[in-house]
Amino acid sequence: MFVYIFLLMRRYFFIYILIALFCSNFIVSPLYAGEIRLVGSSTVALAIKGALESFSEENPDIKVKLDVSNSGRGVRALSDGKVDIAMISTPVQVLKFRIAHIDWDRLNALKIAERKIVFITHKDNPVTHLTQPQIYNILSGRAKNWRAFGGDDDIFWLSVNMHRAEYAQQLKTLCLKGNILTPNWRA
């Protein structure tokens, strides 16, 4: 999954400010003062919270207003001219499909991070590498224990660290191709 921040093409000076948010020096032109409004994904908001706080301390003349909601709301607010930056974690192509009435040619996307799904086995487990088909078989319940992958005759116990339902949906979409999770998992 990609994490993007959208900018209106006519507001190129915000790219400079945005880049400053992620640089250690947080240098911003002294000619700009005012407010930067960001709306959108809670995933992005969590990722940039520390950088925004540092930016605000270094640039007291620039107020950063953060409104956490979801990717779609951020893009709609940006398209309507209500905000300066839209924070999205939903893939761009999915948003283009869901929100067709927006003039996407007026928006620029700047990828700032990628979200990953990571599978980790216990240090005592002799299985140290899993392929995507093997992960599919584990999550779908087709594989019953580690012996199928060269490990011990132990049952799978999955602990999925999901703070929101969207992560379960991503597991379902990306790893299971739309199928349901095995009953042997706990969030």
**Euclidean distance between CA atoms 121 and 3, whole angstroms:** 27
Let me know whether 173 and 86 are in one domain: no
In a domain, 122, yes or no: no
Per residue in 103-152, pLDDT tens?
888 888 877 777 667 777 888 889 988 888 888 888 777 888 899 899 88
pLDDT of residue 119: 78
**Euclidean distance between CA atoms 94 and 36, whole angstroms:** 26
The one-character DSSP state at 104 is G
Closest to 68 in 3D by CA, of 50, 99, 41:
41
Let me know whether 79 and 150 are in one domain: no
**Residue scoring higher pLDDT (101 or 162):** 101
In a domain, 125, yes or no: no
